[in-house]
Chain A
Amino acid sequence: MSRKRAYRSKMRILADMMRAIQSEGEEGAGPTKVLYAANLSHDRLKQYIDELLEKELVIEQDPESNNRVYFLTEKGRAFLREFVRIERFSEAFGIEI
């Protein structure tokens, strides 16, 4: 039997991206770091980064520059804290999110 990859909801993907950005601390994370940490294709990365920016969960430093770096906003940090709580709750009942 082949082992299938676990399904990741959109919220989990966004949370994985934000965790990657958070792990870089004050230096912020570049797109490549986020792409590898969240295990995404380039197209998906752009789509989800745009969504994070639009929802003001992350901010982009110097958008005109080629060297893009992303930082978590306070709203993003609050979202991530809430997501971790919900992740624990769901895990307690064996529900994957």
Chain B
Amino acid sequence: MQAELGIIRLDLLFEAISGIIALMITYYATKAYRLTGQKKLSDLSTGFLVLSAGMFGRVVGTLYFITQYGEVGSNLIISIVTIAYGMSRIMAYILFVISTRPTKTHFEQEFQNNTDVSMLLMATFLVDTSLEVLAILVLVVVVLQAVLNYMSTRSKFARYVLVGFFLLLLSHILMAGAETSPGLYLLSQGAQLLGFLSMLVMLIQAGRD
């Protein structure tokens, strides 16, 4: 019991730190959008805002219901928080797919192909009930786009983002296996935190003169 609570508290700490980093990226993307008017930066900003809102919602919700009511807390409300959290992440990842979509001039791809991928993901979103599997599916697309971006630019900033998104994907894969092996739960949260820390390093380095 003590160990379980320890895992939960560490999980919430990791989640809160990740949420703060997501908010920092939101701020920077908004600032970049205001200066350039590039719509994709606005989508990116919204994606990270939704992600951080979901994370803080989960932290506050879990703290409130578990610390206030302990084991007798409402399972229904916990389930609602969990589903809302999962949905917010998927919405954020779909926004990442849209905002980090490669441009035609980079890869000589037809715009229609990309639209088809996004529409396919949206369709899957409506029929599939497993939020974790959905998150993995959408994040695979995000990671592939980050790989393409890194291969075309070879920039260290793109590498940090690629590592960040890859670790987020890894965290969802680990989370999917957490039911059978609870130890994977904390590993999953650790991978998520490392992913956001990688993006924080990118933010710091990109902001240097």
B108 at the interface (CB under 8 A from A): yes
A37 at the interface (CB under 8 A from B): no
| Complex alpha-carbon distance, A78 and B103, angstroms | 29
Q: Which of B6-14, B54-62, B81-89, B199-207 contacts A (4 or more CB under 8 A)?
A: B199-207
For A4, list chain B residues within 8 Å (CB): 104-105
> Number of residues in A with C-beta < 8 Å to the partner?
25
Mask: chain A, 1-36; 1 = CB below 8 Å from B; 0 = not: 101111101111000000000000000000000000
Max chain B Cβ within 10 angstroms of own Cβ: one of A81, A83, A85, A91:
A85
Q: Which of B15-23, B66-74, B154-162 contacts A (4 or more CB under 8 A)?
A: B154-162
Nearest-CB distance from B121 to chain A (Å)? 18
Nearest-neighbor residue (CB-CB) of A5 within chain B = B105
Max chain A Cβ within 10 angstroms of own Cβ: one of B31, B32, B38, B145:
B32
Mask: chain B, 76-119; 1 = CB below 8 Å from A; 0 = not: 00000000000000000000000110111110100000000000
Given known contacts A11-B35, A96-B103, A1 and B108 CB-to-CB distance under 8 angstroms:
yes
CB pair A94–B32 under 8 Å, yes or no, is no
B128 at the interface (CB under 8 A from A): no
For A6, list chain B residues within 8 Å (CB): 103, 105
CB pair B155–A92 under 8 Å, yes or no, is yes
Given known contacts A9-B36, A11-B35, A11-B36, A91 and B41 CB-to-CB distance under 8 angstroms:
no
For B138, list chain A residues within 8 Å (CB): none
A43 at the interface (CB under 8 A from B): no
CB pair A97–B32 under 8 Å, yes or no, is yes
For B202, list chain A residues within 8 Å (CB): 89, 92
Of the A-B pairs whose beta carbons lie under 8 Å apart in the complex, a sample of 15, sorted by A's number, is A1-B108, A3-B105, A6-B105, A83-B35, A86-B36, A88-B205, A89-B202, A90-B38, A91-B153, A91-B157, A92-B160, A92-B202, A93-B158, A94-B153, A95-B100
For B44, list chain A residues within 8 Å (CB): 93, 95
Nearest-CB distance from A25 to chain B (Å)? 18
CB pair A85–B207 under 8 Å, yes or no, is yes
Nearest-neighbor residue (CB-CB) of B108 within chain A = A1
CB pair A94–B206 under 8 Å, yes or no, is no
